[in-house]
Amino acid sequence: MLLLYFTIFTSVTSRHISPEGWGQAQPTFPRLMNATIESLTVGLESKLFSSVDLVIAYARRIAEVNSTLNVVTELNPDALEIAKQLDLERSNGKSRGVLHGIPILIKNNIATMDRMNNTAGSWALVGAKVPRDSTMARKLREAGAIILGKTNLSQWANFRSQNSSNGWSAYGGQVYAAYYPKQDPSGSSSGSGVASSLGLALGSLGTETDGSIVSPAEKNNLVGIKPTVGLTSRALVIPISEHQDSIGPMTRTVKDAAYILQAIAGIDPADNYTSAIPGKIRNYLKACNPLALSGAKIGIPRNVISLTGTKGSPELIAFEKALTTMRNAGADVVVSNFTSASAQLMSQGEIQVLNADFIVNLASYLAQLTSNPTNVKSLSDVRQFTQSFPLEEYPSRDTKIWDQALFTQKWNNTDPRFWKAYQQNLKYSSDGGLLDVISRQKLDAVILPTSIASSWAATVGAPIITVPLGFYPLNAPVKKNTRGNLVASGPNVPFGLSFLGAKWTEEKLIGLAYAFEQKTLVRNMVQPYLVPKTEIADVVKKGRHS
Ligand SMILES: *[C@@H]1O[C@H](CO)[C@@H](O)[C@H](O)[C@H]1NC(C)=O
Ligand SMILES: *[C@@H]1O[C@H](CO)[C@@H](O)[C@H](O)[C@H]1NC(C)=O
Ligand SMILES: *[C@@H]1O[C@H](CO)[C@@H](O)[C@H](O)[C@H]1NC(C)=O
Ligand SMILES: *[C@@H]1O[C@H](CO)[C@@H](O)[C@H](O)[C@H]1NC(C)=O
Ligand SMILES: *[C@@H]1O[C@H](CO)[C@@H](O)[C@H](O)[C@H]1NC(C)=O
Ligand SMILES: *[C@@H]1O[C@H](CO)[C@@H](O)[C@H](O)[C@H]1NC(C)=O
Ligand SMILES: *[C@@H]1O[C@H](CO)[C@@H](O)[C@H](O)[C@H]1NC(C)=O
Ligand SMILES: CC(=O)N[C@H]1CO[C@H](CO)[C@@H](O)[C@@H]1O
């Protein structure tokens, strides 16, 4: 795959043609709002600009919007040095991989062994050190990416409080999305969503337990992939649940998500869930076939939409239109109701699994720290710290999720009650749910509006990908979030369409999502109200030191 890619693109650059200007004599500067890995690579290869230029341009863009949107908690102080090294390697004819010299931001719960903090947005972990890079960070670096910085998030990946807001962390402040003033960025990968959407990096990594990639991806007009649990290693990522956590790309195009997923997927002895990956990692780039909808069989759980959708909403109207698009592209779209849906919606199974896993998984993350200034070792310690450290905004932002885990549920994932809850979650899916309809009706995927999609995949560790579907009309009412500090929906706010699949079928889902994206190009139809102005040309022309 890599070889094929580089052959194609070498022939492209030798003719000095850029993907955004086929037929022009000279490569052009891609606009950073919609630059792609391929367009940046062409520019880097042709020496029109360097990775140092890219790091400077992105850092300036972050500085332009960060005081309003609060997206990035810290820049990598070594990013320029790393870029210089990668530029040097490139000029010596060496390429580490498809991400060579491409700046990527990562969520502030994915650890790096460098000068950056990994906090999940909590002051309890500021200054804590890890023994090595997380596997995700290592794989990004091996593929040549520049880790540009860390993105703000819903604190503890939204697993602390019942009275907080998406995108708020004590350490990072409140993230806002850019399609409406004070827009709820959704979460918990909030900063990763806003950053990719505004071109503050080529793309970003997020993490998802249930919705934390696909939801901020939809609210920020992006593509997001939550891979099958175990396709991407969770080693040295601050956890919620080993049974549901997964790390994935958030990008402006399906193809860029495929490139990044290719770089980060794979077996890792430090996360033994990855040993379940069947066979070789698939070729996600090759999966990007514009004709993939032709002959595909796609299911719609109509009863899930009746139970959880908002009747007559712009999302549902756009969803119905999407069915026509898919049928016109040759897909067989059928009804595939989840007969277990009502029972699953009433069940406490998922929250019980998360509570139980968090107690154990958090303790094992903390046990790996090589330096731990606040000396927190357990969820009880973290809770005590949070309740007594003023910047954590307790009690206005409560700790009810932890209180429930520690004092109401009380048991963790070593308890027999855990297995009962977990097996029940699996059964909802295999007997009348997502995995059942996929196998019984021989579906390639199930589709749902993204706002009601994630849980059906999350509880069984199945993959999900969201692509832009539409946005609220200009006369839409402004609705606040429950805390009352953010605009949850309103004019211009984007939403997405999700493809859910059987485990390890990312290749299929990427194909369907790519074909849908290419047919619709919804991302280009809606613009943020706030766009950073710095472009690569400003850095190259005005000089790197201005
Ligand atoms: C982002 O904005 C916050 C709030 O203004 C600031 O504290 C932080 O240093 C900024 N980060 C970067 C990387 O500019
Ligand atoms: C990490 O946190 C410490 C303590 O707040 C701070 O001094 C340091 O600058 C942070 N690192 C980066 C790269 O921002
Ligand atoms: C997976 O790894 C964890 C710790 O790394 C270990 O406790 C557990 O027993 C392992 N499970 C299997 C099935 O190997
Ligand atoms: C599926 O669910 C919808 C909505 O609840 C219902 O109208 C329809 O009859 C169901 N179809 C089948 C085949 O059960
Ligand atoms: C999990 O529960 C068991 C049984 O109650 C207990 O021995 C163990 O310490 C708990 N683990 C954590 C990390 O709290
Ligand atoms: C939630 O936070 C808001 C804003 O600080 C506050 O007005 C409200 O009383 C809080 N609710 C609870 C139940 O603590
Ligand atoms: C870049 O975005 C603009 C505005 O959204 C759009 O018109 C243009 O077609 C996009 N270019 C590419 C190469 O996607
Ligand atoms: C780490 C960091 O930069 N935190 C800052 C983020 O923004 C808030 C304001 O919204 C500041 O108070 C934090 O210090």
> Would the CB of 521 count as within 6 Å of ligand 7?
no
Reduced DSSP (H G I as helix, E B as strand, rest coil) percent helix, strand, coil of the chain, to 5: 40, 15, 45
> Would the CB of 20 count as within 6 Å of ligand 7?
yes
Q: What are phi and psi of 115, to 5 degrees?
A: -85, 0
* Distance in Å, CA 528 to ligand 1 centroid: 20
Nearest to 525, CA basis, from 330, 318, 386: 318
* Distance in Å, CA 62 to ligand 1 centroid: 9
Identify the DSSP state of 252. S
Provide residues with CB under 6 Å of ligand 1. Answer: 62-63, 66-67, 70, 72, 74-75, 173
Which ranges of 265-348 does DSSP label H, i.e. alpha helix? 302-308, 314-328, 341-346
d(CA 96, CA 435): 38
pLDDT tens profile 431-470? 999 999 999 999 999 999 999 999 999 999 999 999 999 9
Q: Which ligand is nearest to the CA of 437?
A: 4
Tell me how far the alpha carbon of residue 330 is from its chain's centroid: 29
Pocket test for ligand 7, best of 179, 198, 520, 524 (most atoms within 8 A of CB): 524
* Distance in Å, CA 414 to ligand 5 centroid: 7
Query: Does an H or E element contain 58, and which?
Result: helix 51-69
Q: Quote the pLDDT of residue 221.
A: 98
* Distance in Å, CA 272 to ligand 3 centroid: 6
d(CA 501, CA 490): 30
Query: Does an H or E element contain 140, and which?
Result: helix 135-142
Compute how many other C-beta atoms are within 10 angstroms of the C-beta atom of residue 351: 15
Nearest to 204, CA basis, from 180, 188, 184, 228: 188
Q: Quote the pLDDT of residue 12.
A: 33
Contact (CB, 8 A) for 287 and 514: yes
**Using CA positions, which residue lies closest to atom 7 of ligand 8?**
173
Peptide bond into 395 cis (omega under 30): yes
> Would the CB of 373 count as within 6 Å of ligand 2?
no
> Would the CB of 410 count as within 6 Å of ligand 4?
no
Pocket test for ligand 5, best of 366, 407, 414 (most atoms within 8 A of CB): 414
What b/e readout covers 19-51, taking b as 16+ CB neighbours within 10 angstroms? Answer: bbbeeeeebbbbebbebbbbbbbbbbbbebbbb
d(CA 249, CA 312): 31
**Using CA positions, which residue lies closest to atom 14 of ligand 4?**
337
d(CA 295, CA 366): 49
d(CA 242, CA 475): 43
* Distance in Å, CA 454 to ligand 8 centroid: 30
Which distant-in-sequence residues (6+ apart) come within 8 Å of 203 by Cβ? Answer: 37, 104, 105, 196, 249, 250, 251, 252, 256, 257, 260
> Would the CB of 303 count as within 6 Å of ligand 6?
no
> Would the CB of 306 count as within 6 Å of ligand 4?
yes
**Using CA positions, which residue lies closest to atom 9 of ligand 7?**
524
* Distance in Å, CA 345 to ligand 2 centroid: 42
pLDDT tens profile 178-219? 999 999 999 999 999 999 999 999 999 999 999 999 999 999
d(CA 502, CA 111): 29
Q: Ligand 8: which atom is nearest the Cα of residue 174?
A: 10
The residue written with tokens 């139970």 in the block is 307
Give me the residues of the chain with pLDDT under 50, please: 1-25, 546
Q: How far is CA 228 from CA 66, 265, 340, 440, 450, in A?
A: 32, 10, 22, 20, 17
Q: Which residues are catalytic?
A: 107, 188, 212
Pocket test for ligand 6, best of 396, 397, 400 (most atoms within 8 A of CB): 396
* Distance in Å, CA 172 to ligand 8 centroid: 5
**Using CA positions, which residue lies closest to atom 1 of ligand 7?**
34
Nearest to 461, CA basis, from 488, 434, 490, 432: 434
| Count of H-run helices and E-run strands, the chain | 19, 15
Pocket test for ligand 8, best of 69, 70, 122 (most atoms within 8 A of CB): 70
Q: Which ligand is nearest to the CA of 127?
A: 2
> Would the CB of 525 count as within 6 Å of ligand 4?
no
Compute how many other C-beta atoms are within 10 angstroms of the C-beta atom of residue 346: 8
Which distant-in-sequence residues (6+ apart) come within 8 Å of 283 by Cβ? Answer: 1, 262, 507
Q: Quote the pLDDT of residue 28.
A: 85
> Would the CB of 60 count as within 6 Å of ligand 6?
no
Give the chain's end-to-end CA distance (angstroms, integer). 40
Q: Quote the pLDDT of residue 543.
A: 59
* Distance in Å, CA 117 to ligand 3 centroid: 27
> Would the CB of 412 count as within 6 Å of ligand 5?
yes
Which ranges of 198-340 does DSSP label H, i.e. alpha helix? 214-219, 254-264, 302-308, 314-328
> Would the CB of 115 count as within 6 Å of ligand 2?
yes
Nearest to 83, CA basis, from 531, 539, 541, 542: 539
Which ranges of 265-371 does DSSP label H, i.e. alpha helix? 302-308, 314-328, 341-346, 349-367
Long-range contacts of the stretch 322-325 (C-beta < 8 A, 24+): 322/447, 322/469, 322/497, 322/516, 322/520, 325/516, 325/519, 325/520
